[in-house]
Amino acid sequence: LAVANSLAAVRAGARQVECTINGIGERAGNASLEEIVMAIRTRNDLIGLSTNIATTHIIRTSRLVSDLTGLGVQPNKAIVGANAFRHQSGVHQDGILKLLETYEIIDARDVGLARGGILVLNKNSGRHGVKARLEELGFELNREELNRVFEAFKELADKKGEIDDRDLEALVADERRTFEELYHLDLLQVSCGNHLVPTATVRLTGPDGQMLVDTTTGTGPVDATYKAINRLVGVPNVLTEFSIKSITEGI
């Protein structure tokens, strides 16, 4: 009820709302900024107010917060969920094609999603098409950066097929990482099962280009992997949290 209560307060005279991106906060019950802002914008006839929020950045900001916090956005979440502007039913698709407002009270372009004339990027796309989409997303890359991103794009497109905006954002993020990679993971092989001791073999390339290999056991494949890495680098790294997430739907 956080969003509903906040909107009721605004209609009753409140002029400041405490809210968070994606509704993420220390505890539960935080009002989602994107839902409040778009409700005020969309139903201005009832509320009669406006905000200074640049709504076209809502989707990208939501994804950035999700990536940085590691807290995924549920697909059915209003405004920023993956399914918010998707239509699979034939009836819905027919209605959307005839009149967008049939099923969407909010224009997806207002929150930063492209609609109409979307470039479908795949392995046959050229450099100009990729560059144009990156510029639409707000990225300004020099020639060298674009060349490296385009090479990574072609490699991914060969495996995945169509490339969406989240893929492009991930490729640019990888290109712009500023930290120095002292060790590079060349190989990871694990084995485990009902009657097997979890074992991991790790091969790293060290700072001087030397190959480092170690095999060890653990309470599980992840534990064994980190034990092997610790032995190779000589630093007692501690795993505090483990989760598996995909930036996009995957290949």
CATH of the domain at 193: 3.30.160.740
Q: Are residues 2 and 96 in the same domain?
A: yes
Domains: count for the chain: 3
Please tell me the distance from the alpha carbon of residue 129 to that of residue 157, in angstroms, as a whole number: 14
Among the candidates 175, 195, 213, a domain finishes at 175
Q: Are residues 84 and 18 in the same domain?
A: yes
Residue 151 confidence (pLDDT): 92
Q: Which two tokens stand for residue 117?
A: 């004339």
Beta-bridge partners for 187: 203
Residue 131 confidence (pLDDT): 87
Among the candidates 175, 193, 219, a domain finishes at 175
Residue 249 confidence (pLDDT): 62
Residue 250 lies in a domain: no
Please tell me the distance from the alpha carbon of residue 207 to that of residue 225, in angstroms, as a whole number: 20
Residue 165 confidence (pLDDT): 83
Please tell me the distance from the alpha carbon of residue 173 to that of residue 149, in angstroms, as a whole number: 10
Q: Are residues 189 and 171 in the same domain?
A: no
Q: What is the pTM of this model?
A: 0.58
Residue 246 lies in a domain: no
Residue 251 lies in a domain: no
Residue 240 lies in a domain: no
* Closest alpha carbon to 38 in 84, 1, 93: 84
* Closest alpha carbon to 130 in 175, 170, 163: 163
Residue 116 confidence (pLDDT): 38
Among the candidates 113, 129, 157, a domain finishes at 113
Q: Are residues 101 and 123 in the same domain?
A: no
Please tell me the distance from the alpha carbon of residue 4 to that of residue 7, in angstroms, as a whole number: 5
Q: Which two tokens stand for residue 200?
A: 């991991």
Which residues form the domain of 189? 184-233
Residue 244 lies in a domain: no
Cβ-based burial of 37 (10 A; exposed 0-12, middle 13-18, buried ≥19)? buried
Residue 73 lies in a domain: yes
Please tell me the distance from the alpha carbon of residue 192 to that of residue 215, in angstroms, as a whole number: 13
Q: Are residues 93 and 200 in the same domain?
A: no
Q: Are residues 155 and 189 in the same domain?
A: no
pLDDT by residue for the chain (251 residues), tens digit each? Answer: 999 999 999 999 999 999 999 999 888 889 999 999 999 999 999 999 999 999 999 999 999 999 888 898 998 999 999 878 876 555 765 676 677 777 788 888 899 987 633 455 778 778 887 888 888 888 988 999 999 999 999 999 888 877 888 888 889 988 877 677 788 899 999 999 888 899 999 999 988 889 999 999 999 999 999 999 999 999 888 878 777 766 666 65
